[in-house]
Amino acid sequence: MPLLVEIRSFTGVCTKLMVQDLDEKLAEFWPGMSAQQYGVLRILNCRPSTIRELSDHMMLAPSTLVPIIDRLEAEGLVVRGKDPEDRRRTPLLVTEQARSLLAQVPAVDMGGRLYEVLQRMGMEKARQLSLLLQELIEQLSPGQHIADHVLAMSARVSDAARQRPLQP
């Protein structure tokens, strides 16, 4: 079905372009930092999580996350904590150094390509796009509440960043 191929291709291209844009922005503030490392730090900055919790949230295999966490730990940006209520649980925590670096990198890039494109599209189309993407995610992952996790993370990042919203 051509429409299925188009949607799959468009979402793949959008993802690649947005990651490329983020990588370029990160290079300005934090040379050598990947989008995945940055994503891990942003999540951990909102709340400590185990590798399994990060895996579920980021939809990445734990084996993919282990080298990312190891590198962040080696750079002094993440520490493995202890859960006083469950010794088997090892929450990951960001360090003060990571918090300081994260404070320098805007969580929302008001000068980025995505922001500029959404501005040109207008608030109504941007909202429609968000709602359609939420619906697509919910239909692709019934019962997993992935869209809810994304919305909750978005709200936490927005609160933390204290950035102005898209202008109508």
Residue 121 has a pLDDT of 95
Q: What is the pTM of this model?
A: 0.75
Residue 151 has a pLDDT of 66
Residue 164 has a pLDDT of 35
Domain check: are 2 and 78 in the same one?
A: yes
Residue 166 has a pLDDT of 35
Domain check: are 58 and 87 in the same one?
A: yes
Domain check: are 25 and 67 in the same one?
A: yes
Closest CA to 56 of 156, 153, 168, 161: 153
CATH number for the domain harbouring residue 68: 1.10.10.10
Strand (E) or helix (H) holding 113: helix 113-121
Domains: count for the chain: 2
Residue 163 has a pLDDT of 43
Contact 107, 161 (CB under 8 A): yes
Domain check: are 3 and 74 in the same one?
A: yes
Domain check: are 121 and 94 in the same one?
A: no
Domain that holds residue 50: 1-105
Residue 6 has a pLDDT of 93
Taking the chain (168 residues) in consecutive chunks of 10 residues, what is each chunk's mean pLDDT? 90 91 86 91 92 90 95 95 84 95 81 88 94 89 71 59 39
Cα 56 from Cα 82, distance rounded (Å): 20
Domain check: are 92 and 168 in the same one?
A: no
Considering Cα of 166, then 144, then 77, then 83, what sign does the dihedral take? positive
Residue 154 has a pLDDT of 63
